[in-house]
Amino acid sequence: MTTTENKNKVWFITGSSRGFGRVWTEAALKRGDKVAATARKLSSIADLNEKYGENVLTLEMDVTNPEQIKTAVNTAFEHFGRLDIVFNNAGYSLVGTIEESPIEDIEALYKTNVLGPVSVIQAALPLLRKQGFGHIIGTSSNLGHQTYPVIGYYCSSKWAFEAIHESLAMEVKPFGLNVTIIEPGAYATEFGSPDSFKLAPSMDVYSDYKNHFFQSMQNYERGNPDATSNAILKLVDAENPPLRLFLGDKNLLEIQKVYSERMKTWEEWNDVAIAAQG
């Protein structure tokens, strides 16, 4: 891993009001970088102005509103003169089984977790391409590679998020732009708060199963969100940043097991697959 000297980078961050977004916004500002911090409610990030003065630009932005996104991105670019890092971090979870979750709730989840980041990318790309440099970063999850029951739609949104960013990385490389997918494991953020998830209506047939799932999740060890800041700063300073970066000490072992099981199944059925070629 090689890094470049920090030159007071300029960040555009979505979801700056809480969780990882808040941690990483403040980490950038504390070291003297400049940040366009966005949130659905301006009041939730107003204190950043008092703490960091002219180094921060706070913007009200709903990631489900493409026109508001375009205005915010352009405002940030004009204010600071450039954007080094465009960081898609806003998102939430839909909690419910595949059968329970209403279509309108699934659509709302995808508008925030998938289409919102796409709108940010599409608004920022003309500016990044013109300036000839930039790093697009998106917060996914280790659930972008594996799934859990009861949060299947959230997992699926991260699988879509991963595919979009992987394709994007290939498409923008000729323009001198980098793309990185951040994949945190379980952390003690506000992600489990009512503001960060929506509960689908319950069906009695799944009650026992879901209670067991929730109990198992309560016992899951969670990392310290503040401990992730150095990793993010090393990432943005890297001369050749990776496409993917795990955060946490359990992800690699978990995902190695997941892919090992997939490979085993594909190999066991490979004769059938080959015969289907015709």
DSSP state string for 209-245: HHHHHHHHHHTS--B-GGGGHHHHHHHHHBSS--SEE
Per-residue pLDDT tens digits for 213-246 = 888 877 777 889 999 999 999 999 999 999 999 9
Q: Which two tokens stand for residue 274?
A: 């080959």
Pairing outcome for strands 34-39 and 93-95: unpaired
Q: Could you read off the pLDDT of 83-138 as tens digits, one per residue?
A: 999 999 988 899 999 999 999 999 999 999 999 999 999 999 999 999 999 999 99
pLDDT reading at 177 higher than 90? yes
CB of 1 within 8 A of CB of 27? no
User: What are the phi and psi torsion angles at 135 (to 5°)?
Assistant: -130, 115
The H or E element containing residue 136 is: strand 134-139
Q: Is 195 left (phi over 0), alpha (psi -120 to 50) or beta?
A: alpha
Residues with a known catalytic role: 140, 154, 158
Topology of domain 10-247 in CATH is Rossmann fold (3.40.50)
204-213 residue pLDDT tens: 999 999 998 8
- The pTM for the full model equals 0.92
Q: What is the pLDDT of residue 126?
A: 97
Sorted by where each begins, the domain ranges of the chain are 10-247
* Strand-strand pairing, 85-88 and 177-184: unpaired
DSSP states along 45-109: TTHHHHHHGGGEEEEE--TT-HHHHHHHHHHHHHHHS--SEEEE----EEES-TTTS-HHHHHHH
Band of pLDDT at residue 181, cut at 50, 70 and 90: very high
pLDDT of residue 223: 85
